[in-house]
Amino acid sequence: MIVLKKGEPVLLFSKDEEYLVKISDKKINTKSGMINLGKIKKKKFGDKIKSHLGKTFVIVKPNLQDVLKKMQRFPQIITSKDVGMILVYTGVGPDSLIVDAGSGSGFLAISLANYLNKGKIVTYEKDNKIFKVAKDNIKKSGLKNIILKNKDFVKSVNEKNVDLVTLDLHYPEKAINRAYHILKVGGQLFVYSPTIDELVNVLRKIKKIKGFSYVKVVENIVREWQTERTIRPKTMGLMHTGFLIFVRKVE
């Protein structure tokens, strides 16, 4: 039996509340009363703990989405719905080498690295303030296969034979040549473009490089449905976030 230890992250949840915490000797206040985190020590995942008002919480191991929800967001992130599309459309494998230009808050690098149990992702962020946010979030993720560099991708990238390059930065068209040169033949480029203006510039640049082919542009719109009282689409939805551009290096 594996018992939980001090400093380990755990998720405490009931049917209507959840709290991501680290095991310590502290107490936390919740809507349903105070919880003594020290009592979690020597328990195991699946055990239960009660607040001082008698509310029962189950202790579970947090997954990636649980962790991401609690992380700091500096610039706009690539959302989970779009990360899923990247994984499916590129077919990136668990032993891949990925280079990510424009770390932002680190959400894309963290999400992709979670699937690379035999590979790694190198992510570049030149803005010092954003770099610090990404560094903190990557540390919180607990993932060891992410290399974060406080450098300009276009000027400093030196990886070779890369399986996938992802671009989520200002003026991505300026980084496409560099991406092409570090990709292996058969490797893929992904570009995230929030606006049509940027999409046009990116496509124009891609079409100038003869070694790129199989260009595909996707927009991923998700509409959630409510299930309480009546079944219908929710009034608010996560609609347009960005255009997802996929292209493959063929020579």
pLDDT tens per residue, range 164-202: 999 999 999 999 999 999 999 999 999 999 999 999 999
Distance CA 232, CA 238 (A): 16
Mean pLDDT of 44-66: 90
Q: What is the pTM of this model?
A: 0.85
**To the nearest whole percent, how much of the chain has pLDDT over 90?**
69
- The pLDDT value given to residue 4: 81
Quote the distance between the C-alpha of residue 222 and its chain's center.
Answer: 17
Into which CATH architecture does domain 9-62 fall? Roll (3.10)
pLDDT tens for 210-229 read: 999 999 999 998 888 989 88
pLDDT tens for 93-139 read: 999 999 999 999 999 999 999 999 899 999 999 999 999 999 999 99
Distance CA 23, CA 83 (A): 30
Identify which has the larger pLDDT, 65 or 211.
Answer: 211
Tokens standing for residue 196 = 């049509």
Average pLDDT, the chain: 92
User: Domain segments of the chain: what residues?
Assistant: 9-62, 68-249
Nearest CA among 192, 165, 179, 171 for reference residue 76: 192
Please say whether the dihedral angle defined by the alpha carbons of residues 135, 19, 75 and 197, taken in this order, is positive or negative: positive
Is there a common fold for 9-62 and 68-249?
no
- The pLDDT value given to residue 217: 97
Tokens standing for residue 82 = 């779009």
Distance CA 84, CA 19 (A): 25
- Using 50, 70 and 90 to split pLDDT, how confident is the model at 1? low
| CATH hierarchy code of domain 68-249 | 3.40.50.150
Distance CA 59, CA 14 (A): 9
How does DSSP classify residue 222? B
